[in-house]
A and B are shown apart, each in its own frame.
Chain A
Amino acid sequence: MASEDDRSRALGRPLDELHPNERIKAGSDYLRGTIAEGLADRISGSISESDNQLTKFHGIYQQDDRELRSERRRQKLEPAYQFMVRVRLPGGVCTPEQWLTLDELARTRANGSLRLTTRQTFQFHGVLKHDLKGTIRGLHEALLDTLAACGDDNRGVMCSVNPHLSSLHAAVHPLAKRVSDHLLPRTGAYHEIWLDRERAIDTREEEEPLYGRTYLPRKFKIGFALPPANDIDVYSQDLGFIGIEEHGALAGFDVCVGGGMGRTDNEPATYPRLADVIGFCRPDRVVQLAETVVTIQRDYGDRVDRKRARMKYTIDDRGLDWFRAELERRLGWSLEPARDYAFEHNGDRYGWVEGEDGRWHCTLFIENGRVRDREDCQLMTGLREIARVHEGEFRVTGNQNLIIAGVKRGQRRRIEKLMAGYGLEDPAHHSAVRRSAMACVALPTCGLAMAESERYLPDLLTRIEGIMEQAGIPEQPIVIRMTGCPNGCARPYLAEIGFSGRAPGKYNMYLGGGFHGQRLNRPYLDNVGEETILETLGPMIHRYARERREGEPFGDFVIRAGYVAEVKAGREFNDPA
């Protein structure tokens, strides 16, 4: 464990003592690398390994269709390389015009579907190398970009979408956008590579005043929550802002730091961690505070071991008090004491609601965030037709769902008719379990996945629904989340029942997460298949149906019933149940 002033694994050490990625960043000429040359090469659909690290900073992630690997090898074809392109969409808000652009790019440049993500943005999958520039240009024309959507930098900033509180959302969302814009890399690489801009005269010295030439040790995530909804899972963020409403207006934010989901199997020094609330800050100081937190992580984060390079470890290793002191020293002012707030849930509330400004908002359930046409539901076509007439905006939720927001009273009928016409489902058709569930993309495209997620969770849910039906609690919401690997994109460690993939058909199962994202769950089963999962969950759910207290969520029950011990801090996560 590092002492407070130990910088032996941090910025400033010789590059050859640090992780190889630090050398790639340092040698990249501010994220340029040889990306442009790689794009011009027609012989391979891939780009070089070091450029792969760099394109992430541009929101672009090389993948390949893993199911075709061996078939294509026999066919003397290279792997089916393709790219995931993630849009930067602070707070998840886009206009109908932007939706139409995204929809068209998905159909002409990608695999024909749009993926809503757990961080409130859009991903394209299956974009071929020769379509990358066209995709980025298309986004640019719609005033969208992909800069820093992945990579060792501040990622897309999240913001609660709570449709009831229109005035608060109107106050918070611009802040989320300001923070996102403020923390963007300043390099000209993005515009030069993707938009064919000439490179400005060499100003290398000032090219990245905040990040420097090696950027952050690892990704960095910021989110703004608006109680009572914790739909962005604020405790999972490196830096969270919890909106405090006083007298009907935004007073400021309770600030929390050090959240993060990612962990590595069989490495107990890695664990998910919830952010700690450290105080309160006024809205006009949010940007300064965010920048300052980023600089601390930039200077102290672990640049040797990428598995322990998130800010949660910097804080745990040096202590929260050290962190607060360093922050206040750098800020030149002190945080006020934290104020009171209360979260009630981290899921979405579906259907139509009227906001305080008299406009209507409809939250649609999008299973696993996948927007595509199916036989029974022309979701993609329907949303396109809605976008053609919609005058408000679209909001992507942190649960991969979609809100058609800001609909004038007189327009609601028209949109409802379109929804019905294209089979956009009434979320009530789905069980509460399904409506609360989340899965990451995983196979076949994600290079990290060790097991199915998006394609499998719906089937597993069907079986769990059967158990709940038998137990007589079909409408009880239980938060179930699944990821194909331990990195935690769908925030499985906050679920009441969580799964992370270990091998095809095999998962770790976690139990006991807090219903509104306030408590981590704990590993319960290691590397097991569906049969064991169902055999284990069956009796538990039946007992829960019999023994639960009034309003007691499943995650609380499994702790009270003694199945798992409560996890009070991230570093206890790997302790025996």
Chain B
Amino acid sequence: MNPTPLTDQASPLDRQQAERLSRLVEALSPGQASWVSGYLAGLAAAGQPAAPAAAGPDAGARITILYGSETGNAEAIAERARVRAVERGLQARAVDMADYKPRELRQERLVMIVTATHGEGEPPDPAEGFHEFVHGRKAPKLEGTRFAVLALGDSSYEHFCRTGREFDQRLAALGAERIHERVDCDVDFEEGAERWIERALDAFARHAEPAPSNVVAFTGSGERQGTVHDRKNPFHAEVLENLVLNGRGSDKETRHIELSLEGSGLTFEPGDVLCMVAQNRPETVAELIGTLGLSGEETVAGPRGEVTLAEALTHDYEITTLTPPFLEAWAQASGAEALQALTGEGRRREMLEFAHGRHVVDVVGQFPVTGLTAQQFVDMLRRLQPREYSIASSHNANPDEVHLTVAAVRYHSHGRDRHGVASTWLADSVSEGDTVPVYVQRNKHFRLPSDPSTPVIMIGPGTGVAPFRAFVEERECRGAGGRNWLFFGDRRFRTDFLYQTEWQRWLRDGVLDRLDVAFSRDGRDKVYVQDRMRENAAELYAWLQDGAHVYVCGDAERMAPDVHRALIEIVAGEGGLGEEQATDYVKGLQRDRRYQRDVY
């Protein structure tokens, strides 16, 4: 961690205080610094030592930063914004939309919204209730409220950043004043988000109340307690085991990977995510460089400073997925009509259809550009993103390890074999004894119930089963008394029953109370987890009535909506409710955090 140097000019401290604090800060580990920051903030919040708050230009106005987070990115940005605000001497709080009481909205003067967008343009699960409230008839008039929105999304989806755009429009429609323009960030959001925070805070600073002067936050203290590794400083974890879970004859390749966390200080809870700083395949890099007609030795300025093109393409840039910004840039550079036809207004669907199954190299090859420099090329690309995997083990059960369940993505399209970046890197290039750079990302919207006696229903087909292995391990390890019910599905019983013998043991030992499985390719009729749920509707409803929590993990495109529909139908059928009431019941579950999803 590199805090901004403390001087008497840059802080409210006198020289001596600044020096003493500087020395202390230098000696702190990132985790300690984070703790100290929280400690001082806590002292302030508790009102002691109390210092009179200076009245700001807009008295009583603190900034409320509301975030709707799917994977934790929006949350991390919101937290960073809060810290930056406090650094500027402003009062600010960051609140998860899921925890926010909507009726407080009416009193807010300064609102920052940081939100992700879910797969097909819906709000992230935790933001759903607040999103609905704001868009509903009960939404308050917001004249006198000032706001700014940061939207996070993935430009390879049709409804890129839709939730952020909706909040932006809706708050304005409710009479609030937009004091900074919305920014839509793609998956490489880091720089854009940083700029937005600074500029938005510039605007808010004119209206916000200064924070109590004795609270000082450290730059970059957005890291959470206990987490000492992040994207910029990942832990190099040794691979302990890397094996294929699918039996012979399977058309799938799902890997079980065990990594050593010994000495990392990394901790995690069931439901958390392990991020892997991956690299592109050498063959893919070489093919792209060759297609560009470059050597790879060219120097480019990238996020890590000046490196060779080959180096940059290996570690820094997404060189497979075709993003709309790249297509737009390439359309311009190449002047190709076929591409330009895809980039006009309202052509997003056509563009995504074109991008589907194609990679950067296909476009580069099909629409060559002469005289393009290496730098110009990399500037069109988006940053290579860490890959996120739901952790498949319990930290309590295996304190020095983290287990992952990774499906190797391989397919053939438009005449080329395609490879998922991280998954096939793990599959093809990483052996036991090698290390992989990782860090933990919290996923607090996917948490076991705090009461160990609460029953749990887990729905996780395919690699979606990963966090449930962690859940069950954790519940076993803690001796949690609550019942556990897992729904699992995949293609074939014989080869694709992931962790079969472990579930069998947990069933035998009474840790797992029920296990229902659906294999879609075994019979003439395709059977899925939602079919098994319907077959067990009465019992499933009885579990819900007993307070069970429901968790869904896995495919967002088809499985999660199908399971969601099945859940509503079951509630309607078994509870004797109309469709609308059943939908409300399920929404209630979501609101009460009894229905949590981690879908991708």
Contacts and interface: CB of A to CB of B under 8 A. Distances in A.
Interface of A: 42-45, 68, 71-78, 80, 128, 130
A76 B500 contact: yes
Nearest to A43: B515
Interface string B485-513: 00000000111011111111001000000
B499 A128 contact: no
B256 interface: yes
B121 to A, nearest CB: 36
Contacts of B517: 42-43
Given A42-B517, A43-B515, A77 B497 contact: yes
B484 to A, nearest CB: 14
Nearest to B495: A77
B504 A74 contact: no
A76 B245 contact: yes
Given A43-B503, A68-B248, A130-B493, A76 B522 contact: no
Nearest to A44: B504
B502 A76 contact: yes
Contacts of B246: 75
B243 interface: yes
Contacts of A72: 247
Do most interface residues of chain A lie in helix, strand or loop, or is the interface mixed? loop
Contacts of A75: 243-247
Contact of A128 (B256, B494, B498): B494
A76 B504 CA distance: 10
B504 A68 contact: no
A294 B493 CA distance: 42
A107 to B, nearest CB: 15
6 contacts: A42-B516, A68-B248, A75-B243, A75-B245, A77-B495, A130-B493
A72 B494 CA distance: 10
B493 A78 contact: no
A42 B523 CA distance: 13
A77 B503 contact: no
Contact of A73 (B248, B256, B494, B501): B501
B494 A45 contact: yes
Contacts of A43: 500, 503-504, 507, 515, 517
B245 A130 contact: no
Nearest to A129: B493
Contacts of A71: 247-248
Contacts of B499: 76
Interface in B198-253: 243-248
A130 B525 CA distance: 13
Nearest to A42: B517
A130 B527 CA distance: 13
For B246, B501, B502, which residue has the most chain A Cβ atoms within 10 angstroms? Answer: B501
Contacts of B248: 68, 71
A130 B523 contact: yes
A73 B247 CA distance: 10
A74 B243 contact: yes
A72 B245 CA distance: 8
Nearest to A128: B494
Given A74-B243, A76-B256, A80-B494, 12 more contacts: A42-B493, A42-B517, A43-B515, A43-B517, A44-B504, A45-B493, A68-B247, A73-B501, A76-B501, A76-B502, A77-B245, A78-B500
B485 to A, nearest CB: 13
Contact of B493 (A68, A73, A76, A128): A128
A45 B494 CA distance: 8
A73 B243 CA distance: 12
Contacts of B516: 42
A75 B256 CA distance: 9
B522 A77 contact: no
A45 to B, nearest CB: 7
A182 to B, nearest CB: 38
B503 to A, nearest CB: 7
7 A-B pairs closest in CB distance: A76-B501, A76-B499, A77-B500, A42-B517, A77-B247, A75-B245, A78-B501
A128 B522 CA distance: 10
